[in-house]
Amino acid sequence: MAKKTTTSKYVKLSQIEHVLIRPDTYVGSINNEEKDMYVIDDLTLENINVVKKNINYNPAFVKLFDEAIVNASDQAIRTTGSRNSVKVIKITIDKEKISIENDGESIPIELHPEEKVYNAELIFSNLLTGQNFDDSEERTVGGKNGMGVKLVNIFSTKFIVDTCDGKKKYKQIVKENMQSIGKPTVKPVEKGTKSYTKITYYPDVQRFGLKEIDDDSISLMMKRCLDIAVYNPKVRVVVNGKTIPVKTVKDYMQMHLPEGEEFFYEK
């Protein structure tokens, strides 16, 4: 084996390359493991019960989903009590892709005055950007380090941003692990169109040792949707077209217990 020269020992990576080569630094282990986890057992969501089940799951893969739904949840928390607050979060999960949409106040569809790109591109396709960097503010939201949903973008073969501010609609497609950022389209919309923000991502499943988004992963992600619903009681959380019927801690607890089981709770 040829000995490396002093010069060849040193390598400079781009931020994206570093994320992909050392994913555990950013999103945790990409190794699949068997573990007892609380999941939703009925993927049709006709009868929602939470059960403890031994599943094969990928911690990093689920972490990325958490980053995506926390993005929508943070917006719901920020806009609570405002005139254009988030009232609905819609999550759609199938074997190929995941989409998350929230109504309410959207991302301003305008060029950032300093960076000269649209705000949506800055937020979703540029690392170390965001609005949670003021540590003097009391923190009630999840994101804080400017990575978050950008990591979802990096670990996706395709990532679509679709947002509307009531006057204009913005759409942008990013491919190849955030290394190919397409030119956005901006079009006017009819008067009265409601504002929203939606992301759709196609996970690069091969990086997680998966062939598709499997049922074990979906059952755990649906449990995460239930968690979002219970701490956002004023927001309707819809998963694959079904509204999650939980508004109180009592509702949430009952889903974890056999029917008729005695329990006590404190609000």
Q: Looking at residue 143, what is its pLDDT?
A: 41
Q: Looking at residue 128, what is its pLDDT?
A: 59
Q: What is the DSSP letter of 105?
A: S
Q: Decide the pairing of beta strands 168-175 and 180-181.
A: antiparallel
pLDDT in tens, 188-228: 999 999 999 999 999 999 999 999 999 999 999 999 999 99
- Report the Cα 47 to chain-centroid distance in Å: 24
Q: Looking at residue 134, what is its pLDDT?
A: 41
Q: Decide the pairing of beta strands 196-203 and 98-103.
A: antiparallel
**CB distance 61 to 151 below 8 Å:** no
Cα–Cα dist 217/219, whole Å: 6
8: pLDDT confidence band, cut at 50, 70 and 90? low
**CB distance 157 to 179 below 8 Å:** no
**Is the predicted pLDDT of residue 93 greater than 90, yes or no?**
yes
Q: Looking at residue 15, what is its pLDDT?
A: 87
Report which residue type is found at 59: P
**CB distance 226 to 242 below 8 Å:** no
Q: Looking at residue 137, what is its pLDDT?
A: 39
Q: Looking at residue 99, what is its pLDDT?
A: 98
Q: Looking at residue 144, what is its pLDDT?
A: 41
Cα–Cα dist 198/225, whole Å: 16
**CB distance 178 to 123 below 8 Å:** no
pLDDT in tens, 151-189: 999 999 999 999 999 999 999 999 999 999 999 999 999
11: pLDDT confidence band, cut at 50, 70 and 90? low
**Is the predicted pLDDT of residue 140 greater than 50, yes or no?**
no
Q: What is the mean pLDDT of residues 94-123?
A: 93
Mean pLDDT, the chain, rounded, equals 89
14: pLDDT confidence band, cut at 50, 70 and 90? confident
156: tokens are 């996706």
Q: Looking at residue 132, what is its pLDDT?
A: 40
Q: How many CB atoms are located within 10 Å of the residue 230 CB? A: 18
Q: Looking at residue 2, what is its pLDDT?
A: 56
95 or 126, which is more confident?
95
Cα dihedral 39, 43, 47, 52, rounded to 10, equals -20
Q: Looking at residue 139, what is its pLDDT?
A: 36
194: tokens are 């409601």
Among 29-38, 86-95, 257-266, the range scoring the smallest mean pLDDT is: 257-266
Q: Looking at residue 87, what is its pLDDT?
A: 97
Q: Looking at residue 113, what is its pLDDT?
A: 86
